[in-house]
C-alpha cells in the first residue's frame, strides 16, 4: 500500500499563550490519498490557510504530526523545510505570482534554480519544463514574459511551476478568486485533469462552491476544526 | 543568481538611476584619487626616483632638504657604518626660472635644482656637465626643449637643458637635475647666505645592505647625533605637505565611499521592500534567504562594477585631455583598482542593510494573500 499524500494527526497550531491563546487549527485527523483532490472550504479566518501552510511546510504545527508523501516533516528545521518545499510540494497562489521578468519556461525552471548546487541536472530540468509546457498547451508561449500571457495562460504556467518537482501534494490557494466565472471554471477543470493524469494529490482552498463539484471530496473547516 | 542576472538584463531601467549615481561617485573617487596621486607625484618624484633606502639630513634641518647641510667628516662617519653599501651627495635649491629666450619674463617657472652623485631613476650615472641640467618632462608645458637655456634665480644663472626625465619633481616644483658642482655654483650665485664647500652637500642618500631601520639608527649613532636619518618611505612622508595632502584627500575619499554605501543601501532597501511579495513566493517554493540575498549582493556588486568601468573610462579620457604640467592628475592602475575595491566594498556593505529585511520575509505570508 502506498503512503497517503498527506497525513495530519492531532495537529494544533496555537498562537500566544495563557489567556491570550488563540487556536488557529485543531485537526484530529486528516488523510488525503495519493491521487485525491480535496476542496477545503470554510469562511475567512476558519483555519484554511493555516492548514495549507502546515501541510506545505510553510508553518510548523505546535503539536501533532504531519507526513507528506510518507515523510514526517514535523521536526524539520527551517532550512530542511525550505528544501522540502522545493522538492516535495507544489504551490499555486491566489494571484498566480509569476516572476514578472521571466518567461513562461524560466518561471518553471526557477524552482530548480532556487536549489543552486542541490538542484537537478540543468538539462533534465529543461526537459521537464518543456514537457510540462507541452502538456499544458503552452509550448508556443514558452518564451513569453508573464505580462504577455492571458490570465488563463498565467494560471497554467503557475500550475506547471507547481508540478516541476514531481510533488506528492499540490496546494492551490483560491486559484479562481481573481478569475471570472468562465475562466475560473476552465482553470478548475484544468487542475482536475492535470492532477488526475499524474496521480498527484491536491488541496484546493476555496470559497467557491462550484469548485467542490470537481473535487473528490470536500472538507469543511470552521474555527480551526474540520467539521466533516 | 540567474534570477538576479536576468532581472538586471531585462529590467535595466530600474537600475539606471542607482547606476548613474554610483558612476558619478566612482568618477569622483577616481578624480580625487588621481588628483592626490598627481599632487603626491609632483611633491615626491625626486625622492621616489632615488636608488636609495635612506636619506641623511643634518639634525638641525628638521627633516628638510632645504635646511640640511652635511659636511665631509659627517659623510665619512656615515660611510663607515656597517651595512651602508653606498653613499651619494644630494643638493637642492628652489629658484624661479625664466626661459633664456625671454629673460624679462614676468612669470617665473618654479624649479628645484638638484645636484646628485648617485643617479636617480632615468638619469645618467655621470651627471650632466657644468652648467647643464636634465629637466623633468613637466617643463615641456612651458615650451622648453632640449638645447634651450634657463635663467635661474635673481642672479639669472644660465643653465642649458640637455635632456628630460619623467616623474622626478620635488615639492611641486619642476626638477632640474645637475652635477653637485653646478648645484654649488648656482647656489653660491643666488643664495650667498647658503654657500656649500666643495666637499659639503645638503643631504646624503644611502643604499643599505640589511635591516634599514636598525642601520638608520646606527648612522645617527655614528655621527653622534649630528644627523637625522630617515628611511626613504619616512623621508617621502616627511616632505612638506605630503602627509597633509594625503590625509585630507583620503578623508574626502572616505566620505565619498560612505555616500556610495548609503546610496546602495537605500536603493536596495527600497528594491527589497518592493520585492517583498515576490520574495515571499520564492521562499514558499523553496528559495532560501541565502539564495535570495545572494542575488541582491550580486546585483549590487555588478552595479558597482559597471559604475567603476564607466568611471575608469571617464578618468582615462580626462587624463588624456589634460595637458601635461597643468592639472596634477594622474591615473594609475593601483588607484583604479583601489577605487573599484572601495566601490565594491561599499556596495556589499550597503546592500547588507537589506539582509535583515530579506531574512524577515515570511514564506507563509505568500499563502492567503491576494498580492
* Distance from chain centroid for Cα A93: 8
- Residue A120 forms part of a structural domain: yes
Q: State pLDDT tens for residues A168-183.
A: 999 998 887 767 777 7
The rounded distance, in Å, linking the Cα atoms of A151 and A139 is 16
Say if the Cβ atoms of B285 and A91 lie within 8 Å. Answer: yes
- pLDDT 10s digits, B93-126: 999 999 988 888 888 999 999 999 999 999 999 9
% residues pLDDT > 70 (chain B): 99
pLDDT tens readout for residues B38-90: 999 889 999 999 999 999 999 999 888 989 999 999 999 999 999 999 999 99
Please check whether residue B85 is in contact with residue B209, taking contact to mean a CB–CB distance below 8 angstroms: yes
> How close, in Å, is residue A4 to chain B by CA atoms?
21
Nearest by CB: A110 against B3, B368, B369? B3
CB B284 to CB A178 under 8 A?
A: no
Assign residue A96 the CATH number of its domain. Answer: 3.40.50.300
B11 CB within 8 Å of a chain A CB: yes
pLDDT at B371: 40
CA distance A19 to B218: 82
Give tens-digit pLDDT for B239-275.
988 999 999 999 999 999 999 999 999 999 998 888 8
Q: Is residue A1 part of a domain?
A: no
Enter the pTM of the model: 0.81
Do A101 and B6 lie within an 8 Å CB cutoff? yes
Residues spanned by the domain of A150: 6-226
Per-window interface: A 139-198 vs B, CB < 8 A: 145, 161, 165, 171, 173, 177-178
Residue B342: what pLDDT?
94
Contact A134, A166 (CB under 8 A): no
Residue B206 pLDDT greater than 90, yes or no: yes
* Interface contact flag, B284 A94, Cβ < 8 Å: no
Tell me, yes or no, if B14 comes closer than 8 A to chain A by beta carbon: no
Under 8 Å between Cβ of B74 and B203 = no
Q: Average of pLDDT values for B26-46?
A: 92
DSSP string over A37-86: EEEEE--TTSSHHHHHHHHTTSS--SEEEEEETTEE-TT--HHHHHHHHH
B301–A contact, CB cutoff 8 A:
no
Mutation test of the interface with chain A: which of B278, B361, B368, choosing the one with the most A Cβ atoms within 10 A? B368
The shortest CB-CB distance from B284 to any of A58, A95, A113 is to A58
DSSP assignment string, B226-258 = SEEEEEHHHHHHTSTTHHHHHHHHHHHHHHHHH
Above 50 in pLDDT, residue B20? Answer: yes
Closest by Cβ to A93, choosing from B2, B288, B367? B367
pLDDT at B56: 96
Question: Do the Cβ atoms of A58 and B10 come within 8 Å?
Answer: no
Tens digits of residue pLDDT in A111-167: 888 876 555 567 888 999 999 999 888 999 999 998 899 888 888 899 999 999 889
Size of interface A-B (CB pairs under 8 A): 84
pLDDT greater at residue B10 or residue A18? B10
Q: Is the pLDDT score of B370 beyond 50?
A: no
Chain A positions touching B7 (Cβ under 8 A) are 101
Which residues in chain B are closer than 8 Å to A116, comparing Cβ atoms?
A: 1, 291
Q: Does B148 touch chain A (CB under 8 A)?
A: no
Most confident option among A206-220, B94-108, B120-134: B120-134
Contact A101 B2 (CB under 8 A): no
Q: Compute the mean pLDDT over every residue in chain A, rounded to the nearest whole number.
A: 87
- pLDDT for res A80: 92
Residue of chain B minimizing CA distance to A115: B287
Q: What total number of domains does chain A contain?
A: 1
Q: Chain A residues with CB inside 8 Å of B3's CB?
A: 99, 102, 110, 113-114
Distance from CA of A27 to the nearest CA of B (A): 19
Identify the pLDDT of residue B210.
87
Strands A63-68, A6-15: pairing kind: antiparallel
Residue A80 contacts residue A157 (beta carbons within 8 Å): no
Contacts of A143 (CB under 8 A, 6+ apart): A103, A104, A105
In chain B, domain spans: 2-44+242-366, 47-237
Half-sphere exposure (Cβ direction) of B16: Cα atoms closer than 13 Å:
5
Give residue A1's pLDDT band: very low, low, confident or very high (50, 70, 90).
Answer: low
Higher local confidence (pLDDT), A191 or B54 = B54
- Contact with chain B for residue A58, Cβ under 8 A: yes
Q: What distance in Å separates the CA atoms of residue B37 and residue A19, rounded to the nearest whole number?
A: 70
Looking at every residue in chain B, the average pLDDT score rounds to: 92
Q: Residue B190 corresponds to which cell in the numbers above? A: 643666488
Which ipTM did the prediction report? Answer: 0.88
Q: Which residues of A touch B286 (CB under 8 A)?
A: 82-83, 85-87, 111, 114-115, 165
> Which one has a higher pLDDT value, A46 or B148?
B148
The stretch B294-304 carries a mean pLDDT of 93
Residue of B277, B286, B288 with shortest CB distance to A111: B286
Q: Is A53–B370 a contact, with Cβ atoms under 8 angstroms apart?
A: no
Amino acid at each position: 500500500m502506498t503512503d497517503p499524500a498527506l497525513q495530519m494527526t492531532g495537529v494544533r497550531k496555537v498562537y500566544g499563550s495563557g489567556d491570550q491563546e488563540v487556536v488557529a487549527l485543531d485537526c484530529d485527523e486528516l488523510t488525503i490519498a495519493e491521487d485525491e483532490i480535496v476542496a477545503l472550504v470554510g469562511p475567512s479566518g476558519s483555519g484554511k490557510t493555516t492548514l495549507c501552510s502546515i501541510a506545505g511546510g510553510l508553518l510548523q504545527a505546535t503539536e501533532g504530526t504531519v507526513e507528506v508523501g510518507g515523510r514526517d516533516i514535523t521536526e524539520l528545521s527551517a532550512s530542511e523545510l525550505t528544501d522540502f518545499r522545493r522538492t516535495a510540494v507544489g504551490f499555486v497562489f491566489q494571484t498566480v505570482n509569476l516572476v514578472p521578468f521571466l518567461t513562461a519556461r524560466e518561471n518553471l525552471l526557477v524552482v530548480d534554480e532556487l536549489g543552486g548546487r542541490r538542484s537537478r541536472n540543468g538539462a533534465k530540468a529543461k526537459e521537464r519544463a518543456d514537457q510540462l509546457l507541452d502538456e499544458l498547451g503552452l509550448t508556443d508561449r514558452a518564451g513569453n514574459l508573464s505580462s504577455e500571457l492571458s490570465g488563463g495562460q498565467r494560471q497554467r504556467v503557475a500550475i506547471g511551476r507547481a508540478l516541476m518537482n514531481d510533488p506528492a501534494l499540490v496546494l492551490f490557494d483560491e486559484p479562481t478568486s481573481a478569475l471570472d466565472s468562465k475562466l475560473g471554471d476552465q482553470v478548475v477543470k484544468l487542475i482536475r485533469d492535470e492532477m488526475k493524469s499524474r496521480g498527484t494529490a491536491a488541496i484546493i482552498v476555496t470559497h467557491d462552491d462550484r469548485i467542490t463539484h470537481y473535487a473528490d471530496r470536500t472538507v469543511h473547516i470552521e474555527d480551526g476544526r474540520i467539521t466533516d | 543568481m540567474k534570477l538576479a542576472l536576468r532581472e538586471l538584463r531585462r529590467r535595466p531601467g530600474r537600475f539606471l538611476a542607482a547606476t548613474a549615481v554610483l558612476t558619478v561617485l566612482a568618477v569622483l573617487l577616481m578624480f580625487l584619487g588621481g588628483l592626490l596621486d598627481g599632487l603626491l607625484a609632483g611633491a615626491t618624484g625626486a625622492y621616489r626616483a632615488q636608488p636609495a633606502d635612506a636619506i641623511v639630513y643634518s639634525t638641525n634641518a628638521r627633516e628638510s632638504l632645504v635646511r640640511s647641510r652635511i659636511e665631509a667628516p659627517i659623510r665619512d662617519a656615515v660611510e663607515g657604518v656597517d651595512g651602508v653599501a653606498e653613499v651619494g651627495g644630494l643638493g637642492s635649491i628652489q629658484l624661479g626660472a625664466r626661459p633664456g629666450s625671454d629673460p624679462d619674463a614676468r612669470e617665473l617657472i618654479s624649479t628645484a635644482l638638484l645636484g646628485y652623485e648617485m643617479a636617480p631613476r632615468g638619469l645618467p650615472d655621470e651627471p650632466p656637465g657644468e652648467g647643464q641640467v636634465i629637466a623633468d618632462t613637466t617643463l615641456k608645458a612651458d615650451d622648453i626643449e632640449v638645447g634651450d637655456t634657463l635663467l635661474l634665480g635673481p642672479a639669472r644663472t644660465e643653465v642649458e637643458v640637455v635632456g628630460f626625465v619623467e616623474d622626478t619633481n620635488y615639492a611641486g616644483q619642476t626638477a632640474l637635475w645637475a652635477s653637485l658642482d653646478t648645484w654649488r655654483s648656482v647656489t653660491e650665485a643666488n643664495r650667498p647666505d647658503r654657500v656649500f664647500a666643495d666637499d659639503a652637500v645638503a643631504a646624503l642618500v644611502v643604499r643599505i645592505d640589511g635591516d634599514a631601520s636598525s642601520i638608520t639608527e646606527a648612522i645617527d649613532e655614528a655621527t653622534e647625533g649630528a644627523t637625522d636619518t630617515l628611511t626613504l618611505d619616512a623621508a617621502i612622508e616627511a616632505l612638506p605637505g605630503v602627509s597633509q595632502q594625503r590625509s585630507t584627500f583620503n578623508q574626502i575619499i572616505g566620505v565619498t565611499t560612505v555616500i556610495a554605501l548609503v546610496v546602495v543601501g537605500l536603493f536596495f532597501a527600497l528594491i527589497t521592500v518592493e520585492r517583498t511579495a515576490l520574495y515571499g513566493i520564492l521562499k514558499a517554493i523553496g528559495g532560501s534567504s541565502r539564495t535570495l540575498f545572494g542575488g541582491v549582493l550580486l546585483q549590487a556588486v555588478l552595479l558597482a562594477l559597471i559604475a567603476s568601468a564607466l568611471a575608469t573610462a571617464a578618468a582615462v579620457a580626462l587624463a588624456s585631455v589634460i595637458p601635461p604640467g597643468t592639472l596634477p592628475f594622474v591615473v594609475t592602475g593601483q588607484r583604479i583598482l583601489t577605487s573599484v575595491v572601495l566601490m565594491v566594498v561599499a556596495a556589499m556593505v550597503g546592500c547588507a542593510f537589506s539582509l535583515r529585511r530579506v531574512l524577515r520575509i515570511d514564506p507563509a505570508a505568500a499563502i492567503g494573500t491576494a498580492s
